[in-house]
Chains A and B, each alone.
Chain A
Amino acid sequence: MKRIGIIIALLFAVQLPAAAQDWDPGGALKKLSAKASKAIDVTLDQSMLQFAGAFLDSKDPDQVQAKKIISNMKGIYVHSFEFEKAGEYSEDDLTPLRAPLKEPVWSRIVNVRSKHDGQNVEVYFKKEDGKFTGLVVIATEPTELTFVDIIGPINPEDFKRLGGQFGIPKVEIDQDPPGKKGETK
């Protein structure tokens, strides 16, 4: 139930458009939106994250952790699409979303397992000057697709903690953070 409280806090703190990292996925998202039977956008910008953070309980370890994670974040943007049937979106639709996520700035974590059966999850971390500065998640199922764009300092541990909140897929990451040998592809 504590998590629900945190979710509520953060749902009370949001904004919308697809203001992404340093590229604009808006065009690709618009195309997906046109194909989807339902499109859901959730946006939490910095001011709204701060607003939400003010309501988290400083005595509750979970909420303290959540507050710490969001305190330096610039934004969380979640775009979720539902499709009538499998095959209504294709790899071609995902290509423009993945295109900018290239090394050395971006690292994809391998061996990420979704806790949701049948869901394929790709997690990309952005690293600048040795620091994590952003994250992108692309979670796909035959009839669902979720694109999550987090701007700001977030490490893999933080990401795991945020899983299941704000529409961010819940995942297991089997190995060390990106940036070490053999961890990315």
Chain B
Amino acid sequence: MSRRVLGLGLTLVFAIAVAVPCSGGSDAEFHAVVRTIETQYRVHHMRIPFLGFATVCLKVARIPGASGLKLAVFDNLPKESGISDAALQQSIEATIGDTWRPLVRVRSNDDHNLTMVYANPSDKELRMLVVYIDPNTATVVQTKLKASQIRKWIQQPDEVTHVADNSGD
């Protein structure tokens, strides 16, 4: 059961992240996390591949209340970075500050990947930040969700399930 619950949570986080409108603007914490990864791994994030960007935008209109997707992808991380999961997590949390709450952390020893999900709630919206790292790549995603949308999803959970299902299209 716990795996199902957590699986649903993570699926939702990623579904929201992928299904959100592509908008401009800047968010200091997102950019700070990107810079942290760039500094730690001595890499630069890639431009979003056109196809990937198009895929993201195609899903946009389905999710009212979600906005402000920010996405940074890092490829070809150095094989011997010497950076531990704990050290990276510490750096990220120091960067984003106390207003971001660690929400879920999943670490796989088999696949050597780490997913960290942070949330920053306010009266009107919930900002979510997802950091995913595996031996070759890293991804940072930030999005905002309006409180009204969260309330609607709670009242109509079928809609969320539908979104989560569609995220794997």
A residues sitting closer than 8 Å to B (CB atoms) are: 1-2, 4-9, 11-17, 33-34, 36-43, 45, 47-48, 51, 55-57, 63, 78, 80, 82, 84, 116, 146, 164-170
Contact = CB atoms under 8 A, between A and B. Distances in A.
Most interface-central of B12, B117, B121, B151 (chain A CB within 10 A):
B121
Contact of B101 (A1, A15, A80): A15
B35 to A, nearest CB: 22
Interface residues of B, number: 33
Contacts of B5: 7, 11, 164-167
Interface of B: 1-3, 5-6, 8-9, 12, 101-110, 117, 119, 121, 126, 145, 147, 150-151, 153-155, 157-158, 160-161
Contacts of B102: 14-17, 41, 43
Contact of A8 (B2, B3, B147, B154): B154
A107 B31 CA distance: 48
A41 to B, nearest CB: 5
Contacts of B108: 37-38
Given A12-B119, A38-B108, A38-B110, 7 more contacts: A1-B157, A5-B155, A14-B103, A36-B109, A39-B107, A40-B3, A41-B102
A66 B82 CA distance: 44
